[in-house]
Amino acid sequence: MICFFPGILCLYKSIIYNSQLESFKLVVLSRGLSANNESTLRQLPGVRVINLDKLDGLGAGTGLNAKKMFNMNKLYLFGLDEYEKLVYLDADMLCLGDLRPLEHIEPWAMAPDYGQNVGASVGQRMMFNTGVMVLRPCKETFGNLVKTLRGMRFGHFADQAVINKYLNDDSVPVECLHPKWNLIISNKHINKKMYSDIMKSGVKFMHFTKIKPWAIGRGLLVEKTSSKVYLHAKDRLLRWRFKEEIALWKSADASMRIETASSAV
């Protein structure tokens, strides 16, 4: 499984560098992070780490694979009701624009999932991508999500299937954010015009769904396990396809030096 620590560091740097926020607090939900990496994160100004290692994995017994079980940890954030409002971000996200408008966006708000050829839907609604969510933590919502999860059978999506089903079944109002708030890179070759228009007019968050730029050249570029030969060919292809996106990630990553306790990431 890919380690997301370098992704979180770069997300943090990109928010400082690009968001124009005077201050922010980054709450990191972690599971399986090394002690060194966790202490590096704890030393960053404005960062709080919530270690989930001792909590049960959500979704046991539903036949989910390890990666989908890992993604289910996201549901724990709904229990953080000491916060009135949270902007949830995946760790494979990069901030590229002014985030101040988020102060005026009320929960729930999410961007559509445009990563498919045909936009997926749940019930009567479009499917929202769960990589960026403006939400209000609430123990009751958390309980309802866990209940929803228990009765489900899973296909392609994990937490995203649960959250969308809950929103649909309970008719929860959701504001649809412009896709610039969650520009899914898998979309680049699907909705070409929309993607390039957003690239030109300004991205808020770029979502590295297809590749993790920090894992390039480490044999971890693709998310799915494949044969070595296939992996190298795909590695080159993706590197070429997402040249511009990878360059943006690298430049944010180089914007600030953070001393890491361990280089083994």
Smallest distance from Mn ion to CB 39, Å: 25
CA dist 240 and 95 (Å) reads: 22
Q: Residue type at 123? A: G
| CB of 208 vs Mn ion, minimal distance in Å | 7
**Contact with Mn ion (CB under 5 A): which of 6, 115, 131, 137?**
131
Report, in Å, the least distance between residue 131 CB and Mn ion: 5
Total site size for Mn ion, rule CB under 5 A:
3
Q: How far is the CB of 170 from Mn ion (least distance, A)?
A: 24
What is the distance between the terminal CA atoms of the chain, rounded to a whole angstrom?
12
Is the separation of the CB atoms in 216 and 247 below 8 Å?
no
DSSP state of 186: G
Residue number of the CB closest to Mn ion reads 90
Member of 92, 113, 235, 245 binding Mn ion (CB under 5 A): 92
Q: Give the number of other Cβ atoms within 10 Å of residue 133's Cβ.
A: 24
Asked if 7 is part of the footprint of Mn ion (rule: CB under 5 A), the reply reads: no
Determine the length of the chain: 265
Binding segment (CB under 5 A) for Mn ion, from list 10-18, 112-120, 131-139, 221-229: 131-139
The single residue among 90, 159, 245, 253 that binds Mn ion, judged by CB under 5 A, is 90
CB of 23 to Mn ion, least distance (A): 25
Distance between CA atoms of residues 129 and 127, nearest Å:
7
Give the residue among 72, 196, 82 at the shortest CA–CA distance from 138: 82
State residue 156 phi and psi, 5-degree precision: -70, -35
In the bound state with Mn ion, the residue whose beta carbon lies nearer, of 23 and 65, is 65
Residue closer to Mn ion (CB basis): 92 or 245: 92
Contacts of 90 (CB under 8 A, 6+ apart): 130, 131, 132, 207
List binders of Mn ion among 110-129 (CB under 5 A): none
| Residues at the site binding Mn ion, with contacts judged by CB under 5 A | 90, 92, 131
